[in-house]
């Protein structure tokens, strides 16, 4: 089967393009990765190395970090400098499949990037996240990074504190504590595109599946494309509500209270992390404890 006809590839392309239409991928902003299942690799293996007559040289390159637990696995990832918008028009030119070698330090491109290029600049972060997530629960396969406006806006006005961010976002939509009961991770501003920010992000991905990069964007992880995109969409929607609430007033007249969040946990059978259910002092403004 051709890669572009495979269900996993179609799901990957759709997630990227849907993000563009949400306004989360200006220019070449954002990137995505998917740890391909062995049976899916088998389905498309005969399409590797030859796209429209353009044969990838398949040279091994340094990842820039070590991901031993991903050795010999295959990944679909977006290309560095490529625009998500163009994935709709020509997926094979903007996305690639790469293979990680048996040491977990090198990769080679086996499909895609037909007009040249390299995998996303955030490859170290993607692979380190996928490794941590695989160790946590092998069903995790998708990591998605985008630049959602309201989430980014909040990183200028809320303390860069995971507990406060989570709590304020949770209060903005009933589904939030149910969808991400482990809360939101927050990384302070750092230079992107390297190993250091990847280490920091993957540390948080040991427990959480949504991590915000201050003044930059967010990373979401999930078992499949719908779950991952849906998680990002849910957090960004709640962030939009919070931006509107904060635009009207610095206080809330009423909100979803900690005991009500606990009730949600019981009703829906999810383990809500008590860390985020701190008592606020009377008269606290939004973003204060």
Sheet of 217-222, strands arranged across: 61-62, 106-112, 95-100, 74-78, 31-35, 142-146, 217-222, 210-213, 185-187
Subset of 200-229 contacting Zn ion (CB under 5 A): 217
Coil, helix or strand at residue 81: coil
Check binding of 192 to ligand 2HA (CB under 6 A). Answer: yes
**Nearer to Zn ion (CB atom), residue 235 or residue 277:** 235
Subset of 54-73 contacting Zn ion (CB under 5 A): none
Residue 114 interacting partner from Zn ion, ligand 2HA, none (CB closer than 5 to 8 Å by kind): none
Angle between the 225-248 and 7-22 helix axes, to the nearest 10 degrees? 10
Residue 208 interacting partner from Zn ion, ligand 2HA, none (CB closer than 5 to 8 Å by kind): none
- The Cα 106–Cα 162 span in angstroms is 33
Check binding of 155 to ligand 2HA (CB under 6 A). Answer: no
Structure tokens at 285: 């403004």
- The Cα 123–Cα 50 span in angstroms is 23
* Least distance CB 36 / ligand 2HA (angstroms): 22
Check binding of 28 to ligand 2HA (CB under 6 A). Answer: yes
Among residues 122, 168, 171, 240, the one annotated as catalytic is 122
Question: Is 43 assigned a catalytic role?
Answer: no
Task: Give 281's DSSP letter.
Answer: P
Check binding of 29 to ligand 2HA (CB under 6 A). Answer: yes
Length of the chain: 289
Coil, helix or strand at residue 242: helix
Contacts with ligand 2HA by CB under 6 A: the residue count is 8
Contact by Cβ (8 Å): 254, 260? no
Candidates 200, 32, 55; CA nearest to 128 is 200
* Least distance CB 263 / ligand 2HA (angstroms): 38
Residue 28 interacting partner from Zn ion, ligand 2HA, none (CB closer than 5 to 8 Å by kind): ligand 2HA
Subset of 70-129 contacting ligand 2HA (CB under 6 A): 121-122
Check binding of 19 to Zn ion (CB under 5 A). Answer: no
Instruction: Single out the segment in contact with ligand 2HA by CB under 6 A; choices: 26-34, 92-100, 155-163, 201-209.
Output: 26-34
Q: Is residue 174 exposed (0-12), middle (13-18) or buried (19+ Cβ within 10 Å)?
A: middle
Instruction: Single out the segment in contact with ligand 2HA by CB under 6 A; choices: 23-31, 62-70, 135-143, 219-227.
Output: 23-31
- The Cα 117–Cα 130 span in angstroms is 22
Check binding of 177 to Zn ion (CB under 5 A). Answer: no
Task: Please identify every residue annotated as catalytic.
Answer: 122
Question: What residue ranges bind Zn ion (CB under 5 A)?
Answer: 217
């Amino acid at each position: 089967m051709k890669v572009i006809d495979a269900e996993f590839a179609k799901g990957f392309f759709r997630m990227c393009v849907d993000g563009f239409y949400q306004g989360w991928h200006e220019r070449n902003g954002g990137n995505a990765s998917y740890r391909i299942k062995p049976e899916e690799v088998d389905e498309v293996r005969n399409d590797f190395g030859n796209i429209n007559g353009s044969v990838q040289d398949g040279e091994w390159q340094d990842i820039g970090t070590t991901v031993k637990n991903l050795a010999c696995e295959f990944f679909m990832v977006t290309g560095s400098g490529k625009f998500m918008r163009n994935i709709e028009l020509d997926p094979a030119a903007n996305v690639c499949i790469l293979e990680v070698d048996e040491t977990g330090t090198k990769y080679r491109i086996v499909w895609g990037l037909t007009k040249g290029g390299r995998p996303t600049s955030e490859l170290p972060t993607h692979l380190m996240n996928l490794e941590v997530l695989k160790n946590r629960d092998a069903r995790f396969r998708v990591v998605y990074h985008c630049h959602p406006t309201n989430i980014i806006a909040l990183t200028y006005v809320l303390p860069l504190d995971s507990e406060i961010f989570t709590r304020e976002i949770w209060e903005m939509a009933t589904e939030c504590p149910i969808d991400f009961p482990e809360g939101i991770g927050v990384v302070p501003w750092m230079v992107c595109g390297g190993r250091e920010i990847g280490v920091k992000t993957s540390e948080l991905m040991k427990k959480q599946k949504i991590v915000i990069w201050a003044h930059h964007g967010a990373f979401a992880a999930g078992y499949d494309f719908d779950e991952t995109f849906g998680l990002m969409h849910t957090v960004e929607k709640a962030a939009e509500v919070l931006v509107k609430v904060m635009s009207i007033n610095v206080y809330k007249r009423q909100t979803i209270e900690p005991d009500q969040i606990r009730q949600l946990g019981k009703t829906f059978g999810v383990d809500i992390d008590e860390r985020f259910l701190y008592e606020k002092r009377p008269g606290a403004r939004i973003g204060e404890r």
